[in-house]
Chain A
Amino acid sequence: EPEVTQTPSHQVTQMGQEVILRCVPISNHLYFYWYRQILGQKVEFLVSFYNNEISEKSEIFDDQFSVERPDGSNFTLKIRSTKLEDSAMYFCASSDQTGGQETQYFGPGTRLLVL
């Protein structure tokens, strides 16, 4: 069964450094998403992406964050200058359609620790 994959599984970085989290969505999917989960808290929506554009973003997704689909398979989340509070599990998801009824398929997550 096709799966969303994410790399790395764990990343440790120093405050102020840039990090890039990578995701390979399911191959025929066109809609892509990033979520994060701070330890002990809820999974929170960050951004949705379609046709090389951001469809929607949350208030969390400020100017420090950016997303990109650099080629036909990868979908990346960049944090330009990491802060301690960016430490969280980051999940990528993809779906083959939009409109609300579709199922989003999630990757295993990248655990980011900012020191």
Chain B
Amino acid sequence: AQSVAQPEDQVNVAEGNPLTVKCTYSVSGNPYLFWYVQYPNRGLQFLLKYITGDNLVKGSYGFEAEFNKSQTSFHLKKPSALVSDSALYFCAVRDRGNFNKFYFGSGTKLNVKP
């Protein structure tokens, strides 16, 4: 069965420090991988995606993510966190063979403290 795991419910980081939000997946074959962010009372906003090619993907607001096939991971990173990055982050996976469905992780709440 397809699944996505975000092992941390919450990540706390000081402003200016690097941040990592973890995601691992279990999908048959080669997946399409996405990160979305949700601010309070807003919908899910697209951050970045991995389709093919370079394992390091750069996205909006200075975020990047690295696809690691051997570890089946797609961790979200940012070199220097901002207080405004505080939000709920969702990892999502789509199976290339059955691409209509998104499988979402449970979400990780990122708290960036000044």
Contacts and interface: CB of A to CB of B under 8 A. Distances in A.
Interface residues of B, number: 25
Given A35-B102, A42-B105, A101 B46 contact: no
Contact of A103 (B42, B49, B90, B99): B49
A98 B96 CA distance: 11
Interface string A76-115: 0000000000000001010000111101111111000000
Given A43-B90, A98-B99, A103-B49, A91 B104 contact: no
A58 B2 CA distance: 13
Contacts of B101: 45, 48, 56, 58
A35 B100 CA distance: 12
A29 B32 CA distance: 20
Nearest to A92: B43
Contacts of A9: 41
Would you call the interface of chain B mostly helix, strand, loop, or mixed?
Answer: strand
B61 to A, nearest CB: 14
B14 interface: no
Nearest to B105: A42
Interface of B: 32, 34, 36, 41-46, 49, 51, 90, 92, 94-96, 99-107
Given A45-B103, A56-B100, A103-B46, 8 more contacts: A42-B104, A42-B107, A93-B44, A99-B99, A100-B94, A101-B49, A106-B45, A108-B42
